[in-house]
Every structure is written in structure tokens, then in C-alpha cells.
Structure 1
Amino acid sequence: MSEKKQFSISELAREFDVTTRSIRFYEDEGLLHPSRQGQTRIFSSKDRARLKLILRGKRMGFSLAETRELFDLWDETLTGSEKQLLKTLEVVEHRRAQLAQQKNDIAMMEMELDAHENRCRDALEDIRQRKQPQQRTA
């Protein structure tokens, strides 16, 4: 069975659980390049792959500008230019460092939340213990 080569905007929207407006936005931003048949957008398998990467990048915290830069570099690397490949690796390394920092920040925030939660639970327990003797004498 051969892989499908063309997709409508509604097919992509259903597949990736996004709105057609989002897909049109990515097109307006120059990230997707569908062909047209009259008023109908026809997306290629390359557009489908790009949309998948856009959405994955979004989940990972990439901005559209960063995604565009990676697409541009990726397109340029098809020529085999060492300079573009080095730039791509630089962008990936920078993003990896950002993600590592975010992981550290999240871990620290979780520790702070745990400590705050424990203080709240201890304070609540103190309040409940102080109320118990008063309730017995009343």
C-alpha cells in the first residue's frame, strides 16, 4: 500500500487535532507551502511532515521563529554545506541547553512547592490539634 502524497487542510487538522485556522496561520507565517486547486489548499507529504515538526516544536517550547530558522537551515543543508550543518548543530545545542535549564527550574519549583505544601499541612495539623481540646470542654 502506498503512502498518501496529498492532504486537504481538514485531513491534517483531524490527524493532528488542530484547527484549520492554525494550519492557515502556519501557512501565513511561511512554514507550510500548500499548492492550490482553485480555492482548495493541497498539502504535500513534506507539508505534513513540517506540520508534525511545528507541533512537536511547539510542545517542546520552540518559538515559531526558531522553528522557521531550523526549517531554513534544514532546507539549506540539503546542499551539503558544512557551514549550514554547523549552524544547525549550534541551534540544536543552544535549544538543548535551554531545555536543560527549564528542567532544572522545574525541579527547583517542585521542591519549593513540596516544602510549601508540607508547611501548610503542618500548620493545618497544628490548628486541628489546638481545636480538639476546646471541642471536648465545650
Structure 2
Amino acid sequence: MPNDLRRPSRTFTIRQLCLEFKCTPRALRFYEDKGLLAPARDGMNRVYSYKDRARLQLILRGKRVGLALAEIGEILDLYEVDDGGAQQAAKSLRKFRERILALENQKLDIDKAIKELKLGVEAMEKRLTETRPDLLPRAADYDQMLRHRLDGVEHSEAK
């Protein structure tokens, strides 16, 4: 690729990357220890290149979809191979398909667990209706309170 088409030689501080990607300096140092990032040094300060920034973006995406750091490292290492990214794309494709399959299996397990829990709830509600109906309103109140808490967690994670 001709040099004029490459990204500029802009650099980033650890603080800039942490703010941009909402991660901690500790996380960046951890990825450096694992060999996933290799920032330059200016005295005691880490200096991240545009390439380091792109690698961090890929690391965080890989983690978000559940790839292990070793798998992410394998994919990142293929970036250096001079084949236009073909090997990296092929490896990524295989890893992504494996991850999709694993997540689909987890989803089936979760769906089964939800079904079993709902059956259990129905059985307990029926039993309470027959034996201690005075306890049912408390169960409904608890259910409402729990749903409210979970909604708050979902909203705070989305931020």
C-alpha cells in the first residue's frame, strides 16, 4: 500500500485511549503484558500509535463477543502477514463461526432454563394459592421489585 494512503503518524496517550474506549489504564497495561499491544516509550510514558489504537479496538471487539485473549492474539498476529489480510480474515471467519455456534448453544440452554423456571413459578404459585394465598401478593411485589432492579441494571450497562 502506498504511504500516502496510510493513516497519519498521530500518536495517543494512555489517557486518550482510555477515554475513547472507556477502559482503564490497567487494562491497557494488561494487554501489553499479554503481547497484544506494544506501545513505544517516551521516558516513562507509553506512546500509542494509530496501529496500537486499531489493535485495541479489535481486542475490545473480540472480548465483547467472547473471544479468548489467545484467540484475539492469533488474529492480530496475522495482521503482519503480507497477503492483504486474507489469512487474518480466514482465521477471523472461523473463530466468529465457532463463537456463533457456542452462543447459539448457550441461548438454547438459557431458553431451557427459563422454561423450567417458569414451570417452577407456576407450580409454586398454584401451591401457594391452595395453601397460603396471603403470601402471593408478597411474591408479586417481590417480582415487581426484582424487575425494576434488573431494568435499572440494564439501563446502567447500556450507558
Q: Which TM-score bucket, shorter chain as reference?
A: 0.7 to 0.9
Alignment partners' CA distance in 1, 2:96 and 2:73: 13
1:105 maps to 2:145: no
Question: Which stretches of structure 1, 4 residues or longer, exceed 6 Å deviation after superposition?
Answer: none
Aligned residue number for residue 57 of structure 1: 62
* Percent identity (aligned): 42
Deviations 1:93-127 (Å, cap 9, x if unpaired)?
A: 22222222222222222222222232233333333
1:20 maps to 2:25: yes
SS state at 1:41 partner: strand
Where does 1:60-71 land on structure 2 (aligned, <5 Å)? 60-71=65-76
Give ranges in structure 1 of 5+ residues lacking alignment.
Answer: 132-138
- Select between 82-91 and 108-117 the one with higher mean Cα deviation: 82-91
Q: Which entry has the higher C-alpha Rg, 1 or 2?
A: 1
Aligned residue number for residue 133 of structure 2: 129
Matched residue type, 1:17: K
Alignment partners' CA distance in 2, 1:70 and 1:107: 32
Matched residue type, 2:94: E
Aligned residue number for residue 119 of structure 2: 115
| 2:79–2:85 Cα contact (<8 Å) kept | no
Give ranges in structure 2 of 5+ residues lacking alignment.
Answer: 1-6, 136-159
Matched residue type, 2:36: L
Aligned length, in residue pairs: 129
Matched residue type, 1:104: L
Alignment partners' CA distance in 2, 1:4 and 1:119: 65
Aligned residue number for residue 77 of structure 2: 72
Q: TM-score, normalised by structure 2?
A: 0.66
How far the C-alpha of 1:130 sits from its partner, in A, is 8.1
Alignment partners' CA distance in 1, 2:66 and 2:74: 14
| 1:74–1:88 Cα contact (<8 Å) kept | no
Alignment partners' CA distance in 1, 2:62 and 2:124: 37
Alignment partners' CA distance in 2, 1:130 and 1:8: 61
The change in CA–CA distance for 1:110 and 1:63 in structure 2 (over 3 A counts) is same
SS state at 1:89 partner: helix
How far the C-alpha of 1:62 sits from its partner, in A, is 1.1
The change in CA–CA distance for 1:88 and 1:129 in structure 2 (over 3 A counts) is closer
Deviations 1:30-89 (Å, cap 9, x if unpaired)?
A: 11111111111011222222222222222221111111112123443x424866654443
